[in-house]
Amino acid sequence: MVQRIIVALIVMSSAVFGLSTVYNVDVYQNLNDSADRVQQSFVATADTITSLWFFVGSSPVSGPGKQYELRVKDGATEIVRVFVDAPDPGWQWIGGEVTQVNPQLLVKGKTYTLEVKHSDQGVKTNFYYAPDAYAPGSLKTPNMPGYDLCARVYGRNDTSGGILG
Tens digits of residue pLDDT in 45-100:
999 999 999 999 998 888 888 999 999 999 999 999 999 999 988 999 999 999 99
The rounded percent of the chain whose pLDDT value lies above 90 is 77
Domain for residue 88, yes or no?
Answer: yes
Whether pLDDT at 147 is above 60 = yes
* Residue that wins the pLDDT comparison between 60 and 131: 131
What's the confidence (pLDDT) of residue 60?
83
pLDDT tens column, 25-48 = 999 999 999 999 999 999 999 999
Q: How far apart are CA 48 and CA 45, in angstroms?
A: 9
What CATH number corresponds to the domain at position 151?
A: 2.60.120
Domain for residue 57, yes or no?
Answer: yes
Domain for residue 164, yes or no?
Answer: no
Domain count, the chain: 1
Domain for residue 165, yes or no?
Answer: no
Domain for residue 90, yes or no?
Answer: yes
Q: How far apart are CA 117 and CA 108, in angstroms?
A: 25
Per-residue pLDDT, averaged over 13-22, amounts to 70
* Boundaries of domain holding 32: 19-156
What's the confidence (pLDDT) of residue 82?
99
Task: Please say whether the beta carbons of 103 and 54 come within 8 A.
Answer: no
Nearest CA to 54 among 128, 144, 108, 111?
A: 128
pLDDT classification of 5: cutoffs 50, 70, 90: low
